Amino acid sequence: MQTTFIFLKPDAVQRGLIGQVLERFERKGLSFVGMKLVQVSEDLAKQHYAEHAEKPFFPGLLKFVTSSPVLACAVQGPNAVAVCRTLIGATNGQKADPGTIRGDFGMSGANNLVHGSDSPESAERELKLWFTEAELVAMSKSANDWIYDPSDLG
């Protein structure tokens, strides 16, 4: 099992899409092993988006992500990073495939509803930024026997 970091951005929270977005991950068979509503500080935003610090859009990104609470999630499942990225869709909602979260709910490249870690290494770093170990739970669902073939679990 792999754990990845997802957060529903201010636009998803303000538009009342939390339930519909979370449902996409659950319907796929992924498990939430951590979740909390967070008012993002500028310091946390800068740490999270450090790789973009020199890009021209960085100040706007910080303003956006700190403008309203976000829902931070730790999501677990086989190949969770890649599976979640596929569910989320292309960065710009106008270009994202129908059936993806951004394709179904998004019309912007900046206000794009959801962040998902782009690699296992990013997931590890981001999970440590947003969650303490005590905030993550070990989870085993009996439904997993019906969702995954044992070969899916390594």
Q: Is 154 helix (H, G, I), strand (E, B) or coil?
A: coil
Q: Give dist(CA 9, CA 62) in Å, integer.
A: 12
**Catalytic annotation, residues:** 115
Structure tokens that stand for 120 in this block: 């296992």
Strand order in the sheet with 2-8: 31-38, 70-77, 2-8, 114-116
Cα angle 120, 20, 64 (rounded to 5 degrees) comes to 65
Q: Give dist(CA 49, CA 16) in Å, integer.
A: 25
